[in-house]
Structure 1
Amino acid sequence: MSWTFFHKLGSPKWFYEISGKLLPWLTAFSVLALVIGVVWGLVFAPQDYQQGNSFRIIYIHVPAAILAQSCYMMLAVAGIVGLVWRMKLADVALQCAAPIGAWMTFVALITGSIWGKPTWGTYWEWDARLTSMLILLFLYFGIIALRMAISNRDTAAKATAVMAIVGVVNIPIIKYSVDWWNTLHQPATFTVTEKPAMPVEMWLPLLVMVLAFYGLFALNLLLRMRLEVLRREHKARWVREILEKSA
């Protein structure tokens, strides 16, 4: 059953059809979760006893940082699938997800700097967590630039896949940097084995915002992938039929 789904996922036509059915549900979920998370976090969540209202930026910073790392891990998986099984959609996913991941990393760095000024007294410090996140942004830029620099699609797909796989070593460095080195950055907000460090009325809206960001990422990724699939498969009969219906 799983292998059948895997092979179907390799079909651009099947992906286009099934993604079209998912888009309305993803849109509704993402918008609803975002509205609930923003209102809950910015209006109803209590102030932090040390940071006051300035802590509320975590409702943007933390989801962006988590998504930035998750997106890069997805790039590495897509790179492996593309190299091993030569699946077209793996390269499409890698190409379309990289700019989203770069933006999320940028948002995480900017919001972290804004948060850092009142909390640590500085916008930037070259500690392990901040530096490794900056390296992640450069990795995203590198993948995007490498794709644009190579005109041959197959060569570009292989090169970006290799870069994504090699660069994934930075993800555990980001995650465990606060444990391995003495940094200004606080430990992880969510862990699998330990109870959250903040009260439930603070971390529940944060969890909702994380889910909202994942929903928006999936929505944005599917839309970008659908456009890229149409561009790559423009000579296929099923694409011509779609274009004729929409004309």
Structure 2
Amino acid sequence: MRTHPSRTADRLLVVAAAGTGLAAAVLALLVAPTDAVQGQPQRLMYVHVPAAWLAYLCFAVVLLASIAYLLRRDLRWDRVAQAAAELGVGMTALAIALGSVWGRPVWGVWWVWDPRLVTTAVLLLVYLGHLSVRGLGDDRAAGARRAAAVGIIGFVNVPIVHFSVVWWRTLHQPASVLSPDPAPMDPRMAAALGVAVLAFTLAGALVVRRRLRVLAALDADHHPFPAPPVAAEPLVVLPRSRP
């Protein structure tokens, strides 16, 4: 029996994500040196930064899929936007939580009204709104249009979050990746971080693919395709028998 191509792709993603995740754990815990200033809490970077990166990537997908939906009015693009937004919201929440745990021993507090933290919290609320407006009313297409508008406008906050450590005075350290002036990093730390980012990206692709199948099934249940018309049987006229 031949395996469906999508199932094969999922299995490859599972293997790739698991392999890179294991490699990232080994590099982060056993190979990368302990930070001279922050100590062991700095190792949270190997999850915190990949989570933030994956959130950025998801919201970029939301932006592109939302534009595609408004241009084509194809619900497949709306499902891509929804699946990516759900994962992006989860990764943003994870990044905030890990940042708080990391900040407690380093800054001495769980939370500060820092530009990076505040803009990230706003980002989380924006994309929670993106998911929430879908359920306003019973019109599926209208909900998709509202969500697309929020998904497009909300992306404006992504570069604000990322460059907040450059534009304003902040306690947060400079960006480790995607920065014009990245913070200096030991090559072993950089290798561990790079592999962790790859592992999160592969795992995220797998999650989105599987979520898309669920959303497609839900759409099919709520908006089933009309059944094809049944051809009427020809009327047979029997000859009248003579008495």
Q: For residue 230 of structure 1, report the CA deviation from its aligned partner.
A: 2.5
Q: What RMSD over aligned residues (CA atoms) do the two structures have, in Å?
A: 1.8
Contact 2:174 2:183 in 1 (8 A): no
Structure 1 position 210 matched with structure 2 position 201: no
- Percent sequence identity over aligned pairs: 36
- Alignment equivalent of 1:187, drawn from 159, 174, 187: 174
Structure 1 position 92 matched with structure 2 position 56: no
One-letter identity of the residue aligned with 1:109: I
Contact 1:196 1:203 in 2 (8 A): no
Residues 75-102 of structure 1, C-alpha deviation per residue, up to 9 Å, x if partnerless? 1111000001223211011122222111
State how far apart, in whole Å, the 1-side matches of 2:102 and 2:179 are: 25
One-letter identity of the residue aligned with 1:105: T
Q: For residue 236 of structure 1, report the CA deviation from its aligned partner.
A: 5.4
State how far apart, in whole Å, the 1-side matches of 2:29 and 2:97 are: 19
Structure 1 position 104 matched with structure 2 position 85: no
Q: For residue 140 of structure 1, report the CA deviation from its aligned partner.
A: 1.7
Contact 1:129 1:183 in 2 (8 A): yes
Q: For residue 103 of structure 1, report the CA deviation from its aligned partner.
A: 0.9
- In the other structure, the counterpart of 1:44 is 31
Residues 125-154 of structure 1, C-alpha deviation per residue, up to 9 Å, x if partnerless? 111111010011101211121112332110
- In the other structure, the counterpart of 1:122 is 109
One-letter identity of the residue aligned with 1:94: A
CA gap of 1:191–1:197, structure 2 versus 1, over 3 A, is farther
CA gap of 1:197–1:132, structure 2 versus 1, over 3 A, is same
One-letter identity of the residue aligned with 1:100: L
CA gap of 1:115–1:172, structure 2 versus 1, over 3 A, is same
- In the other structure, the counterpart of 1:7 is none
Structure 1 position 219 matched with structure 2 position 211: no
Contact 1:143 1:163 in 2 (8 A): yes
Residues 36-75 of structure 1, C-alpha deviation per residue, up to 9 Å, x if partnerless? 1012102221101111111000011000111112211211
* Structure 2 alignment gaps of length 5 or more: 227-243
Structure 1 position 59 matched with structure 2 position 46: yes
- Alignment equivalent of 1:134, drawn from 112, 121, 126: 121
State how far apart, in whole Å, the 1-side matches of 2:115 and 2:29 are: 29
SS of the residue aligned with 2:175?
Answer: coil
Structure 1 position 201 matched with structure 2 position 208: no
Q: For residue 231 of structure 1, report the CA deviation from its aligned partner.
A: 2.8
State how far apart, in whole Å, the 1-side matches of 2:128 and 2:5 are: 30
State how far apart, in whole Å, the 2-side matches of 1:214 and 1:196 are: 22
* Structure 1 alignment gaps of length 5 or more: 1-16, 238-247
One-letter identity of the residue aligned with 1:76: L
Contact 2:54 2:200 in 1 (8 A): yes
Matched pairs, number: 221
State how far apart, in whole Å, the 1-side matches of 2:122 and 2:17 are: 29
Contact 1:116 1:123 in 2 (8 A): yes
State how far apart, in whole Å, the 1-side matches of 2:57 and 2:132 are: 21
Structure with a larger share of its residues in helix: 1
One-letter identity of the residue aligned with 1:144: L
